[in-house]
Structure 1
């Protein structure tokens, strides 16, 4: 659909037709299933309807007119239900490797207006804590397959210069996803460009009744519809001052764990079944052949069981451990981690590694870094669009930035997280520098993290160095 055709529809008299057109490219996301897979207490293995309690038979003595008799009865016995939070582990590590390091904002700003604009953008990013918000955006995307961040100005209590220029407004950011009950409706034209973005959500009216609202952003206008009965009606329309949709939208085909969901369910079943087997076979069982003549008293140390001649007493042992079950469990762990590119960095897996080089660290985390490169197909455009929206708002808040905002190109660089081998890196730099130091003593003091006042500490080091190398005139020199 072309934007001009869409504009005719949404500016027309038929509100229901407008909402239908704006939601025509809706992505079907069954969030309830995803939430069920995410929450361990809702996994299938914990469902008593699917993993039912075991029915066992037991004997009970009952009094009758002729004495007592043994009656066989049936009772339910709880089985083990062991869910594994693999979904959270997969998403958590993917987010950490992607945004464990702060995103760098870079631009070829050389002239003063460009430097001021870049500084304003960085201050807005810092004011909105985007280093933390990046992880929220990624988490919402990886578990619900859709995410949108909305940028909007709010009027401050009084004019300020927090962004390097005087303005009455603060720029704020909100994050929307289906996980929070918000329906997202991006609309793209025939060339893949976003021409409208809408969201549907529920609010409470004065009588505490649920009211469905549908709001839309285009490059020209903002629209708000409210559901009235079975139809929609326009309740607000406003001009979009930045002439750009103030929404950054991203999506992916499926949840991060979708390809291994069956393997996770199978693993949970095996672990639960194996726990049941351990419960059954864990306590020792005594097997006696022949008649037992006497048994030691309860609590007596060194008890002796006396049996008739030729009888035998022994423990029932588990001679054949379920090796195939253990192997299948290990294989399922490998399948889940390998095919989600999730590194196993648990203490158990790395405790025997010892000191390893920086190259070995990179090889260990190479699969996770390859996943980051794959995710950059989504987040490079996402972060670029965010920066362009912020530039547009800055140019609107201070007209002096109008031409500069259109001209200056600002990019974001994602650096995958990895543990740094600082000693190896420093030795490499020293070697490349011909054996000379690469940082000053004052810088090393500041970066040590051992002192509260690096400047005062450096001055103290200078005094101590001077004292150690000064010879008093009265001191004998021989």
Structure 2
């Protein structure tokens, strides 16, 4: 059957028959369907050449051949290859300032407490905080990553979901189609699986709002299994951005080249060397002697050959390059000495010191706000359509909010003082006060305790009112 599909598709292509993307999928012409999609693999592979230190340009330096005066080969002289992982450092700093602390989710609707509680439990079940950091790290290194939500039945036969972060460095190919409004209309995940005979077979899972196509490349054409998409949405959160070290690669290469060349020079000249006149050569002490005596005669002379270290201009270049690499990638220079000098600065003061990273994080929030909104909508659909269908209406009514938290926390003591003043002035309810207090982990439970204490206090007061001033009952 696959052979006839291939022949039919080739004939249609030969006569210029134009099929749209869906028609190609229905015809099981997956190869041409993938040609309709944007393939992000090429850009990711190129980005990884810059990100992984083993692929840096400086690693291509070859050892130098040494010849004698007659041109005969003597030996190979080692030439150092010193890559510097600026890219990963820049990427990790950017990650910490955006997702260093978990995204804070809030409930904005009323009467949806159960749905919100299940939503938070689902985030914990999916290890969302760890996975979103991994997805952001990959996007900063490769330019594109994706969080794919896969629904299935677990061992107990119950519906379940897992979260998989897709990246080129893990062997994943990402394909997608967007319309003119930049909305994703189709997504595909390509990967290899080892099957019978230890053969590596290429698979592609293609997701649309209404259908999921599981495709496997065979000797002739593709095997395709189409099933309804029970979620009702493309179960993917796509992360797209420019590389975190964008624009700094030439400067990084220059620093690596200088470091490697300096290492070669150090090997050749940094060790002490002795210069002696011919009259001294015959009276040199033996190497194994602990106390060495040099006997000089007939005007003999001994001195050490010293090396004038790197010029100031080279030192200045190192400093300028390091400064430009970090500043132009909006990365603060965070090391032990700099952090030690911060002392007991407040969170606001640290924010000012780390302003470059804050600026970059605020820029990233322009897109990641949308990613978190889509995450909320997608997980509500998974809960309502797959995991907990009987409460679908409540999940649809659930309105979510999210907030990116500061990586170094906030000046909570000042905040608590402010809200305490507002509460004491009557400008804030007790429930809001409890919800905003950083000392209270479970605001709902705390409010119930306070209500119970109020009821007990009222009951106690009523009991006291039954007793008159003479100690007798009514």
Q: Which of the five TM-score ranges fits, normalised by the shorter chain?
A: 0.7 to 0.9
Q: Is residue 382 from structure 1 mapped to residue 371 from structure 2 by the alignment?
A: yes
- SS state of the match for residue 110, structure 1? coil
- SS state of the match for residue 192, structure 1? coil
The CA distance in 2 between the partners of 1:413 and 1:242, in whole Å, is 26
The CA distance in 1 between the partners of 2:388 and 2:185, in whole Å, is 26
Q: Is residue 26 from structure 1 mapped to residue 26 from structure 2 by the alignment?
A: no
Contact 2:203-2:215 within 8 A present in 1 as well: yes
- SS state of the match for residue 102, structure 1? coil
The CA distance in 2 between the partners of 1:297 and 1:7, in whole Å, is 84
The CA distance in 1 between the partners of 2:48 and 2:25, in whole Å, is 37
Partner of 2:148: 150
In the TM superposition, what are the counterparts of 1:270-349 in structure 2 within 5 Å?
A: 270-289=258-277, 291-292=279-280, 294-300=283-289, 303-319=292-308, 321-349=310-338
In the TM superposition, what are the counterparts of 1:173-322 in structure 2 within 5 Å?
A: 173-229=163-219, 231-233=221-223, 235-253=224-242, 255-289=243-277, 291-292=279-280, 294-300=283-289, 303-319=292-308, 321-322=310-311
Q: Measured at CA, do residues 92 and 389 of structure 1 come closer, stay the same or move farther in structure 2, by a change above 3 Å?
A: same
Partner of 1:464: none
- SS state of the match for residue 29, structure 1? helix
TM-score, structure 1 as length reference:
0.76
Higher strand share: 1
Cα deviation for residue 123 of structure 1 reads: 0.6
Higher helix share: 2
Q: Measured at CA, do residues 79 and 151 of structure 1 come closer, stay the same or move farther in structure 2, by a change above 3 Å?
A: same
Q: Measured at CA, do residues 148 and 85 of structure 1 come closer, stay the same or move farther in structure 2, by a change above 3 Å?
A: same
Number of residue-to-residue matches in the alignment: 413
The CA distance in 2 between the partners of 1:110 and 1:264, in whole Å, is 53
In the TM superposition, what are the counterparts of 1:161-180 in structure 2 within 5 Å?
A: 168-180=158-170
Partner of 2:137: 139
Deviation digits for residues 161-181 of structure 1 (CA, Å, limit 9, x no counterpart): xxxxxxx32222112122222
Q: Measured at CA, do residues 8 and 333 of structure 1 come closer, stay the same or move farther in structure 2, by a change above 3 Å?
A: closer
Deviation digits for residues 57-113 of structure 1 (CA, Å, limit 9, x no counterpart): 579xxxxxxxxxx998632121222221222211222212211111111121321xx
Partner of 1:96: 96
Deviation digits for residues 159-208 of structure 1 (CA, Å, limit 9, x no counterpart): 8xxxxxxxx32222112122222211111122222211112222233232
Contact 1:358-1:424 within 8 A present in 2 as well: no
The CA distance in 2 between the partners of 1:394 and 1:352, in whole Å, is 49
Contact 2:233-2:378 within 8 A present in 1 as well: yes
Partner of 1:472: none
Contact 1:357-1:424 within 8 A present in 2 as well: no
Q: Measured at CA, do residues 310 and 419 of structure 1 come closer, stay the same or move farther in structure 2, by a change above 3 Å?
A: farther
The CA distance in 2 between the partners of 1:365 and 1:190, in whole Å, is 38
Partner of 2:461: none
Partner of 2:114: 116
Cα deviation for residue 17 of structure 1 reads: 7.0
Contact 1:80-1:275 within 8 A present in 2 as well: yes
Q: Measured at CA, do residues 321 and 202 of structure 1 come closer, stay the same or move farther in structure 2, by a change above 3 Å?
A: closer
Q: Measured at CA, do residues 182 and 9 of structure 1 come closer, stay the same or move farther in structure 2, by a change above 3 Å?
A: same
- SS state of the match for residue 118, structure 2? helix
Any unmatched runs of 5+ in structure 2?
1-18, 425-429, 442-474
Q: Measured at CA, do residues 244 and 433 of structure 1 come closer, stay the same or move farther in structure 2, by a change above 3 Å?
A: closer
TM-score, structure 2 as length reference:
0.77
In the TM superposition, what are the counterparts of 1:39-58 in structure 2 within 5 Å?
A: 39-47=52-60, 51-56=61-66
Matching residue within 342, 345, 357 for 1:368? 357
Cα deviation for residue 388 of structure 1 reads: 0.8
User: Cα RMSD between the aligned structures?
Assistant: 3.4
